[in-house]
Amino acid sequence: MITAVNPEHIAPPASHYKHGFFIDAGANWMTLSGQLGERADGTCPESIEEQARIAWANVLAILEQKAFGVANVVKVTSYIVGEENIPDYVQVHREVVGKYLPPWTLVVVAALGHPHYKIEIDVTAAG
C-alpha cells in the first residue's frame, strides 16, 4: 500500500507532485536506470516533448515487465537540459502521471551523456 504524505503545515507542492509517499513494509521495489528519449533503433528526436514521450514510454515498458505501472511509481527525478525546456517536459509529465502525482524532483542540467539527449527520467517504484 502506498499512502501520500502532504503535511498541511508546510508549503504545498510547487508543481505536479506530492511531498512524499509512505510504502508499507513487505512491498516489492523496482529501481530503474535513468531513461532517455532514445528510440529502440538508437535515434533521438530533436524536440524535448518527443524525447520526454519516448523516455516515459521506456519507463512504462520496464515497469510493465514486473506488472507495475504509473500507480507504482514512488519517486521521479527528471533531468532536463535547458531551462527553456521545462514547460514542454512538465506538460508530458502531467499527461503521464495524471492525478497520481508521485514525489518528483526536477533538475536543470548543462548536459547529459550525449549532446542530443535533452531529458533523462529516473524512477523508483513499489507495490
Mean pLDDT along residues 100-112? 97
DSSP state of 5: E
Q: 48 in a domain, yes or no?
A: yes
At 16 the pLDDT is: 84
Q: pLDDT digits over 57-99, tens only? A: 999 999 999 999 999 999 999 999 999 999 999 999 999 999 9
Q: 58 in a domain, yes or no?
A: yes
Our count of domains for the chain comes to 1
Three cell numbers, residue 36? 532517455
Q: 55 in a domain, yes or no?
A: yes
| CA pair distance 99, 86, nearest whole angstrom | 19
CATH code at 55? 3.30.1330.40
Report the predicted TM-score, pTM, of the whole model to 2 decimal places. 0.92
Does the pLDDT value for residue 38 go beyond 90?
yes
Q: 1 in a domain, yes or no?
A: no
State which residues form the domain around 48: 29-72+86-111
**Cα distances (Å, whole numbers) of residue 21 to 38, 51, 71, 95, 119:** 30, 27, 12, 20, 24
